[in-house]
């Protein structure tokens, strides 16, 4: 019995030291920054999808998270635009989908203010990026849901709800990373 638990303990310690060994410093930075955000799992998933995150510094990691949110904004825009194109003018959803697709397009395009600021890294890049996300992206992301709330008779497509949530989570992740890195 005693030797059995010793074996279990030894295996446990071995697996721990193995884990420590494979977590290289760059992975540690990803984990460290992502755990300071509201969505640590989504944050690490986003970064692991991009191989350049392996060698990225804080600024590079922030940029990748913004690209993830921007991609999700493009997905929800594409979905909404296609749905609108396939909706007859006589349908009560037509005008709402029209406005929604324009708002999602604006949201998507306005990520550029943040990505340019982070890429160039000029003075105040961090606060510029945060300001862009807060004032130029978020309001457009959420306008479509507001429209549906104002017209409770219209059925909200689940992909628009899920897409809006995804973009908001992505922005929250970027904000969390941007807040916890330095300006250098």
Tell me whether residue 105 or residue 128 sits nearer to ligand NAG (CB atom).
105
Minimum CB separation of residue 29 from ligand NAG in Å reads 27
Closest to 178 in 3D by CA, of 125, 107, 122: 125
Task: Assign 67 to helix, strand or coil.
Answer: helix
Minimum CB separation of residue 160 from ligand NAG in Å reads 15
Tell me whether residue 53 or residue 80 sits nearer to ligand NAG (CB atom).
80
The two tokens of residue 136 are: 């130029």
- Residue whose CB is nearest to ligand NAG in the complex, by number: 78
CB proximity list for 26: less than 8 A, separation 6 or greater: 53, 54, 55, 56
Minimum CB separation of residue 77 from ligand NAG in Å reads 7
Sites of contact with ligand NAG (CB under 6 A)? 71, 74-75, 78
Report how far residue 133's alpha carbon sits from residue 68's, in angstroms, rounded to the nearest whole number.
13
Tell me whether residue 78 or residue 180 sits nearer to ligand NAG (CB atom).
78
């Amino acid at each position: 019995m005693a030797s059995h638990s010793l074996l279990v303990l030894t295996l446990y310690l071995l697996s721990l030291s193995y884990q420590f060994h494979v977590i290289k410093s760059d992975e540690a930075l990803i984990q460290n920054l992502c755990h300071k955000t509201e969505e640590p799992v989504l944050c690490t998933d986003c970064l692991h999808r991009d191989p350049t995150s392996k060698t990225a510094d804080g600024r590079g990691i922030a940029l990748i998270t913004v690209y993830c949110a921007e991609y999700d904004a493009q997905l929800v825009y594409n979905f909404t635009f296609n749905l609108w194109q396939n909706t007859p003018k006589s349908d009560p959803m037509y005008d709402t989908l029209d406005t929604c697709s324009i708002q999602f397009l604006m949201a998507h395009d306005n990520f550029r203010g943040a990505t340019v600021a982070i890429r160039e890294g000029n003075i105040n890049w961090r606060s510029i990026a945060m300001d862009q996300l807060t004032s130029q992206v978020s309001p457009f992301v959420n306008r479509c849901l507001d429209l549906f709330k104002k017209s409770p008779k219209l059925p909200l497509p689940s992909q628009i709800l899920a897409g809006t949530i995804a973009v908001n989570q992505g922005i929250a992740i970027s904000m969390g990373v941007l807040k916890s890195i330095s300006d250098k």
